[in-house]
């Protein structure tokens, strides 16, 4: 009997061993898959977070893949093809409006869930507000961000970058070629280019009201004239991408550029010991004979994970999103990329608050406005008829289209009309005929 027992035990051990090997090599391949979308610059970092999650949750039951998807287009892509989209998607908060249209494209986070309670306990009310809509919570907040000025401190000192006028004056004294620009901006991107007009008495979808739009005021015209006049040798240039900016920083042909924390590592590498950051410089314009100085108003964003309504397993996707937005992961995001946590406890951490880069971001946040989270932001503002095109038209001033105040006012009036109605009407026709 003992011999038979030993044989049976050996056989069982063999079966268990083969089973274990099979699990190690084959079971993962047979598991269903959940997909996460991340910005290209964050894919590798996100893969690390996913690995940590799976290590801590060995019985999760899903393989997880991480794919690249531009965050600014994530909502539109998910909305247009939800069955092909990721289960867990990282977006700026202003895209909540697009994804909650009609019957919605993302899961509400149930009020009775642990995830809901965690979000409510760990975040400030302002963050909670932008993570939801109409009293419902949809997003798992991960970080807050705005943009600021990156600059070459061998060309400009901390006093120079307090105003555009000082920067442009200093640029004329630098021993640089005609290919040099003191300032670079994505003038065709409303996320950035609207900062001059919004610095004045103008506003965009104030209080999330689609009719609360103003650009064609006297102050707005003066700000647009400043954009037009920036164009020129040693002053400003349109820089299409952050990669282009990094290349130009490294070549010494660009003195400063506006972007957010997501570009910090690339610009540090490009500028080396000359890397520096600051809040956006002021600019001075003349309005009805009176000089006025304004500080550009950056957009303030919270970023968050949302769960695709078409996911095969909402509970699993919610569990994953909850981990990816956890305090632990937020701290790692900060350590790796300088992304500012939204977790209230981390935001008060002295080690984070005393970081020079974080201080610059926080300084700019004092003069930033939360992006409206209504659908019209994606459907109208980020279109060529508005923020994603008209400021570039003014900056280029091709064929004198922005050569005087009347023409600029017509462009801004056209923009106002489109932002309120979504239609190109009489204002557009009159502008095109100028």
Token digits for 59?
């019985």
Q: Cα(243)–Cα(266) distance, rounded to whole angstroms?
A: 8
Phi-psi region of 335 (alpha: psi -120 to 50; beta: other; left: phi over 0): alpha
Confidence of residue 18 (pLDDT cuts 50, 70, 90): very low
Q: Cα(79)–Cα(9) distance, rounded to whole angstroms?
A: 56
What's phi and psi for 266, nearest 5 deg?
-65, -40
Of the candidates 44, 52, 132, the residue with the CA atom closest to the CA atom of residue 96 = 132
CA distances from 87 to 81, 162, 209, 383 (A): 12, 44, 31, 27
Sign of CA dihedral 122, 128, 131, 137: positive
**Cβ–Cβ < 8 Å for 311, 106:** no
Confidence of residue 30 (pLDDT cuts 50, 70, 90): confident
Q: What is the pTM of this model?
A: 0.80
What local confidence, expressed as pLDDT, does residue 124 receive? Answer: 83
Q: Cα(281)–Cα(413) distance, rounded to whole angstroms?
A: 27
What local confidence, expressed as pLDDT, does residue 374 receive? Answer: 87
- Residue for token digits 């600029």? 408
Asked if pLDDT for residue 430 goes beyond 60, the answer is no
What average pLDDT does the structure give for the chain?
A: 90
Q: Cα(65)–Cα(68) distance, rounded to whole angstroms?
A: 10
Asked if pLDDT for residue 375 goes beyond 70, the answer is yes
| pLDDT tens digits, one per residue of 232-270 | 889 999 999 999 999 999 999 999 999 998 899 999 999
Q: Cα(395)–Cα(402) distance, rounded to whole angstroms?
A: 8
Q: Cα(326)–Cα(64) distance, rounded to whole angstroms?
A: 18
- Residue for token digits 């000025």? 149
Q: Cα(294)–Cα(14) distance, rounded to whole angstroms?
A: 76
- Residue for token digits 């003038």? 187
Asked if pLDDT for residue 67 goes beyond 50, the answer is yes
CA distances from 55 to 26, 35, 47, 197 (A): 17, 17, 12, 49
Confidence of residue 363 (pLDDT cuts 50, 70, 90): confident
**Cβ–Cβ < 8 Å for 66, 50:** yes
For the ranges 308-312, 370-374, 427-431, the lowest mean pLDDT is seen at 427-431
Mean pLDDT of 165-171: 97
**Cβ–Cβ < 8 Å for 87, 307:** yes
Helix (H) or strand (E) holding 56: helix 43-56
């Amino acid at each position: 009997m003992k011999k038979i027992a030993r044989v049976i035990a050996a056989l069982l051990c063999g079966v268990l061993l083969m089973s274990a090997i099979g699990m190690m090599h084959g079971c993962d391949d047979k598991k269903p898959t959940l997909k996460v979308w991340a910005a290209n610059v964050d894919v590798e970092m996100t893969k690390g977070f996913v690995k940590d999650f799976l290590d801590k949750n060995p019985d999760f039951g899903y393989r997880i893949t991480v794919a690249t998807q531009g965050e600014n287009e994530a909502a539109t892509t998910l909305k247009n093809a939800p069955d092909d989209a990721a289960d867990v998607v990282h977006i700026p908060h202003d895209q909540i409006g697009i994804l909650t249209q009609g019957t919605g494209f993302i899961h509400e986070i149930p009020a009775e869930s642990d995830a809901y309670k965690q979000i409510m306990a760990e975040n400030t009310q302002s963050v909670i507000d932008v993570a939801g809509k109409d009293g419902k919570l949809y997003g798992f907040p991960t970080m807050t961000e705005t943009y600021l000025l990156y600059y070459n401190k061998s060309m400009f000192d901390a006093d120079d970058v307090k105003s555009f006028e000082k920067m442009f004056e200093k640029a004329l004294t630098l021993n640089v070629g005609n290919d040099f620009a003191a300032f670079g901006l994505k003038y065709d991107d409303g996320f950035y280019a609207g900062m001059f007009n919004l610095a004045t008495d103008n506003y965009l979808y104030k209080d999330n009201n689609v009719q609360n739009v103003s650009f064609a005021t006297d102050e707005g015209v003066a700000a647009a004239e400043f954009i037009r006049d920036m164009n020129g040798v040693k002053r400003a240039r349109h820089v299409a991408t952050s990669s282009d900016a990094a290349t130009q920083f490294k070549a010494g042909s660009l003195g400063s550029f506006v972007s957010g924390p997501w570009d910090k590592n690339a610009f540090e590498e490009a500028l080396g010991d000359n890397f520096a950051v600051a809040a956006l410089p002021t600019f001075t314009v003349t309005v009805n004979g009176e000089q006025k100085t304004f500080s550009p108003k950056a957009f303030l964003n919270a970023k968050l994970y949302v769960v695709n309504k078409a996911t095969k397993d909402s509970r699993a996707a919610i569990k994953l999103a909850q981990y990816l937005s956890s305090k632990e992961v937020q701290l790692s995001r900060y350590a790796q990329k300088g992304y500012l946590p939204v977790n209230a406890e981390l935001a008060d951490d002295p080690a984070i608050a005393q970081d020079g880069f974080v201080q610059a971001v926080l300084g700019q946040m004092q003069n930033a406005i939360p992006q409206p989270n209504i659908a019209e932001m994606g459907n109208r503002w980020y279109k060529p008829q508005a923020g994603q095109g008209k400021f570039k038209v003014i900056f280029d001033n091709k064929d004198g289209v922005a050569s005087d105040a009347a023409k600029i006012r017509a462009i801004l009036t056209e923009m106002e009309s489109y932002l309120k109605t979504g239609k190109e009407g009489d204002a557009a026709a009159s502008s095109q005929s100028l």
